[in-house]
Amino acid sequence: MKFQQQQRIIDGNLTRRRFMSFASGLSVYAISVSGASAGESYTPTNDPFTLGVASGDPDDQSVVLWTRLATAPLQPGGGMPPRFIDVQWQVADDESFSKIVASGTHTATPQLAHSVHVEVDGLQPDRWYFYRFLVADAISPVGRTRTMPAADVVSDKVRFAVTSCQNYEQGLFTAYAQMVEDNVDLVFHLGDYIYEYEAGRNGKVRTHQGSEIQSLDDYRIRHAQYRLDPLLSRMHAVAPWIVTWDDHEFDNNCAGEISEEAEVDPVAFLARRANAYQAYYEMMPIRASCMPRGHDMRLYRESKFGRLVDFQVLDTRQYRSDQPNLDRRSPLNEEAMAQTQTMLGREQRGWLYRNLLRSNAHWNVLAQQVMMGLVNRVADVEHPEYSMDQWPGYAFERMELMRFMRDRKISNPVVLTGDIHSNWANELRVDDLKPDEQPVATEFVATSLSSGGNGVDQPKNIDQLLSANPCVKFHNLQRGYILCDVTPNQWRADYRVVDQVTQPGGKITSRAAFVVESGQPLINEA
């Protein structure tokens, strides 16, 4: 149960003051690697690259290269000595590294769990590269990454995958095997990269290590357990990722500084959030500009694929108001429609509007977490109910966003969404309850990669659901991801599904495919 409004008014400022009064005692965040002294000589006795390599957040001249040194990744400290260690990095035109185009040394610090975030600059636009790391005689796996096209170039095509929600206990990461074969330019992971629950709570396909995670070591080990999955590790190595979180990277259904559970001490809650944010930064291929400060971490950012697509990567957890109606399915009542309800927060909302206004891209994408379509989840027209954790709980802000994109004639808005463990294709209007209105944008909701187990093709009430929600053009309950092919004239979304994730050998097929023509925000079967 959520904190009541009165508690938030009384405790809000006090919570922040109390937290900041002891924040200096938390684990160090903001140590600058560039300011660190040179690392000591270190010769590992075991493989320090057990967690693999990754890249992310590319632009037209640079990309982030990532690894984390850990000889014993499921132990506190990762098996590494508590000292600075120099890590060499190399970028090459070829996989054999006969044509190295950039190289250097990065100092990995124990304060950041010996993670390495190298922002390689001066690369050529729209190019694929290979990269690797070296410590003494140890050599990492080879990764493959790319830069974006130049800012003034309209590319013929971009291909990317969209996924979210990979619960380790509920299923195998089988879908990544097909994603590797899809030869994507980018991967968008829209949240719930890990799950925070104690061992055995969610399933028995595989088992989390330990109790519900709280400490910095807990979060580090949980991330490491996921990264040891060979399919996930391989997918990170073949293309750059652009990531954002949802709730389970920290705590289920969190809303800003408010816990799902009323009895949680607010200071302990923010201390736990600080641990979660630091571990997330350490484990993701994101830029130093995202480095957390205390219990805050700015994750919203922009990414451009030339003039073909502008991606606005949002954070709908850290700045949101508490879910209305005690976070229970409810009608769109006064609480859900309140103008004070915000999903984005004032600063992020202003940033988003500015970016949309100045965009000259053919397609404008909001890559975010929770479903934006106003979907009546119970399919009862007389007594509709909506999820208060999703955009219906913040309906005024959501309608204002749709109205802004309509009135300012934002070019081809598309929303990419995760969270809900099911596939959806929605046409978005200012008010989805008025199907006679012209659509403003389209929404493609990616199902979970493994969360929820095998799933089924469709719910038993699919006909009633579609009838009660004219905005919904497709719905499916299997596991998988969305493969998107985008050209200046057309967006194609291919819903890849896996027949089973609870045992090895799952088969991946295309369940449905849809196209959106440029200038026409209507979803058509491919």
Query: Over 60: is that where the pLDDT of 3 sits?
Result: no
Residues 420, 21: Cα–Cα separation, whole Å: 37
pLDDT digits (tens, 9 = 90+) for 469-487: 999 999 999 999 999 999 9
Query: Over 90: is that where the pLDDT of 10 sits?
Result: no
- pLDDT of 37 reads 53
CA angle (195, 198, 201) in 5-degree steps? 85
CA 443, distance to chain mean position in Å, is 16
Residues 250, 480: Cα–Cα separation, whole Å: 23
pLDDT digits (tens, 9 = 90+) for 215-243: 999 999 999 999 999 999 999 999 999 99
Residues 49, 132: Cα–Cα separation, whole Å: 10
**Closest Cα partner for 160 from 93, 219, 216, 242?**
242
Query: Over 60: is that where the pLDDT of 21 sits?
Result: no
What length is written for the chain?
Answer: 526
Is the distance from CB of 479 to CB of 448 less than 8 angstroms? yes
* Residue 388, helix vs strand vs coil: coil
Residue with tokens 């979060």: 219
- The first and second tokens of residue 479, run together, are 């596991």
Grade residue 23 by pLDDT with cuts at 50, 70 and 90.
Answer: very low
Mean pLDDT value across residues 508-522? 98
Residues 194, 282: Cα–Cα separation, whole Å: 14
Q: State the average pLDDT for the chain.
A: 93
* Residue 84, helix vs strand vs coil: coil
Residues 342, 315: Cα–Cα separation, whole Å: 12
| φ/ψ (deg, to 5) at 20 | -65, -25
Q: Which amino acid is at 526?
A: A
Q: Which amino acid is at 91?
A: V
Is the distance from CB of 394 to CB of 400 less than 8 angstroms? no
> Can you spell out the DSSP letters for 404-433?
HHHHTT-SSEEEEE-SSSSEEEEEE-SSTT
**pTM of the predicted model as reported, rounded to 2 decimal places:** 0.94
pLDDT digits (tens, 9 = 90+) for 135-165: 999 999 999 999 999 999 999 999 999 999 9
In order of start, what are the domains of the chain with their CATH numbers?
A: 33-146 (2.60.40.380), 148-525 (3.60.21.70)
* Residue 394, helix vs strand vs coil: helix
Query: Over 80: is that where the pLDDT of 27 sits?
Result: no
- The first and second tokens of residue 259, run together, are 């816990």
- pLDDT of 254 reads 96
Query: Over 90: is that where the pLDDT of 34 sits?
Result: no
Dihedral sign, Cα of residue 220, residue 226, residue 229, residue 234? negative
Q: DSSP alpha helices (H): ranges in 83-229?
A: 175-181, 216-227
Mean pLDDT value across residues 348-370? 98
Residues 388, 371: Cα–Cα separation, whole Å: 11
Residues 127, 40: Cα–Cα separation, whole Å: 35
Higher pLDDT, 293 or 9: 293
**Closest Cα partner for 352 from 393, 397, 383?**
397
Residues 458, 476: Cα–Cα separation, whole Å: 5
pLDDT digits (tens, 9 = 90+) for 316-356: 999 999 999 999 999 999 999 999 999 999 999 999 999 99
pLDDT digits (tens, 9 = 90+) for 372-406: 999 999 988 899 999 999 999 999 999 999 999 99
Is the distance from CB of 350 to CB of 405 less than 8 angstroms? no
Residues 248, 234: Cα–Cα separation, whole Å: 23
Is the distance from CB of 240 to CB of 56 less than 8 angstroms? yes
DSSP β-bridge partners for residue 423: 476
- pLDDT of 38 reads 64
Is the distance from CB of 483 to CB of 497 less than 8 angstroms? no
- pLDDT of 5 reads 35
Grade residue 203 by pLDDT with cuts at 50, 70 and 90.
Answer: confident
**Closest Cα partner for 239 from 314, 188, 288?**
188
Query: Over 80: is that where the pLDDT of 25 sits?
Result: no
Region label for 203, one of left (φ > 0), alpha (ψ between -120 and 50) or beta (otherwise)? left
Residues 304, 308: Cα–Cα separation, whole Å: 8
Helices H / strands E in the chain, number of each:
8, 22
Grade residue 1 by pLDDT with cuts at 50, 70 and 90.
Answer: very low
